[in-house]
């Protein structure tokens, strides 16, 4: 029982860190509320800033993708117990996000700026809509399993974790990756686009497109023909009416 309680508390802590990192990211990218936004701070040499920022994003990409691969999980769970594997993944992802927030080098020169409030406010609304899509998409599959809470909760109760079926609810009927679409919308919906935010948007968008290809390779291996059919019928990112409904 002591081990189960410890794992559950650890999972809850990891989830809280995730919430902090997620909410801070909303403020960081949008330059609102948080102590340090993406354009805040003293700007250094442009070349040095680009290198540091790309390395930070590359660190996130490597951790986020490598640790999600089935082969890595099989090795990793020989070190980290299965019930807290997902929580540990979420924790490390969150800590790297916070590292990016902390160490990001500002590149504040403006690429474009929408001065008219009649246009600026709708763009900001789209920015927050993107983040809302990200969060909503997680609940349309299994938010608490994605965050690791479900695993530690079932382990606390000494019950086997139920198998999550392949689901295509709501947003997933029109785009295979609504969560990634939400990120793309949030990163590009900028009434004021600095060089730093543009770099962030470009690098993360490229990563998203590449990561989708890797993830779908794993999904085909795990799910098989059901996912092949789904992929043939539903758009990857841009929402469209599924072929079977046309």
Per residue in 13-62, pLDDT (tens digit) is 999 999 999 999 999 999 999 999 999 999 999 999 999 999 999 999 99
pLDDT value of residue 169: 85
Per residue in 150-181, pLDDT (tens digit) is 999 999 999 998 888 887 888 999 999 999 99
Q: DSSP characters for the chain?
A: -HHHHHHHHHHHHHHHHHHHHHHHHHHHHHT-SSSS-TT-S----HHHHHHHHHHHHHHHHHHHHHTTSHHHHHHHTTTS-GGGHHHHHHHHHHHHHHHHHHHPPP---EEEE---HHHHHHHHHHHHHHHHHHHHHHHHH-HHHHTTHHHHHHHHTT-PPPPPPP---GGGGT-S-HHHHHHHHHHH--SEEEHHHHHHHHHHHHHHHHHHHHHHHHHHHHHTHHHHHHHHHS-SSS----GGG-
Q: Is the pTM of this model over 0.85?
A: yes
Q: Which domains does the chain have, with CATH numbers?
A: 2-245 (1.20.120)
Per residue in 76-123, pLDDT (tens digit) is 999 999 999 999 999 999 999 999 999 999 999 999 999 888 899 999
Mean pLDDT of 193-220: 95
User: What average pLDDT is seen over the chain?
Assistant: 93
Asked whether residue 136 carries a pLDDT value surpassing 80, the answer given is: yes
Share above pLDDT 70 across residues of the chain, in percent, rounded to a whole number: 98
């Amino acid at each position: 029982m002591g081990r189960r309680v410890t794992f559950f508390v650890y999972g809850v802590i990891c989830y809280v860190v995730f919430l902090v990192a997620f909410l801070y990211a909303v403020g960081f990218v949008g330059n609102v509320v948080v102590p340090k936004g993406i354009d805040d701070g003293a700007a250094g040499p442009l070349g040095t800033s680009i290198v540091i920022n790309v390395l930070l994003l590359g660190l996130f990409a490597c951790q986020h993708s490598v640790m999600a691969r089935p082969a890595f999980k099989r090795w990793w769970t020989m070190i980290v117990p299965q019930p807290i594997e997902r929580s540990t993944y979420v924790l490390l992802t969150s800590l790297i996000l916070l590292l990016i927030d902390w160490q990001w080098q500002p590149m504040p020169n403006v690429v474009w700026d929408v001065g008219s409030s009649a246009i600026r406010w709708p763009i900001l609304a789209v920015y927050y809509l993107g983040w809302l899509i990200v969060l909503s998409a997680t609940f349309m599959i299994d938010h608490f399993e994605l965050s690791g809470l479900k695993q530690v909760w079932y382990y606390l109760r000494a019950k086997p974790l139920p198998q999550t079926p392949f689901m295509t609810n709501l947003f997933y009927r029109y785009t295979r990756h609504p969560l990634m679409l939400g990120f793309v919308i949030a990163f590009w919906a900028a009434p004021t686009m600095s060089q730093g935010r543009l770099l962030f948007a470009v690098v993360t968008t490229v990563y998203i497109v590449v990561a989708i290809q890797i993830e779908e390779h794993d999904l085909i291996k795990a799910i098989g023909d059901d996912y092949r059919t789904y992929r043939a019928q539903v758009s990857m990112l841009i929402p469209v009416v599924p072929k079977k409904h046309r």
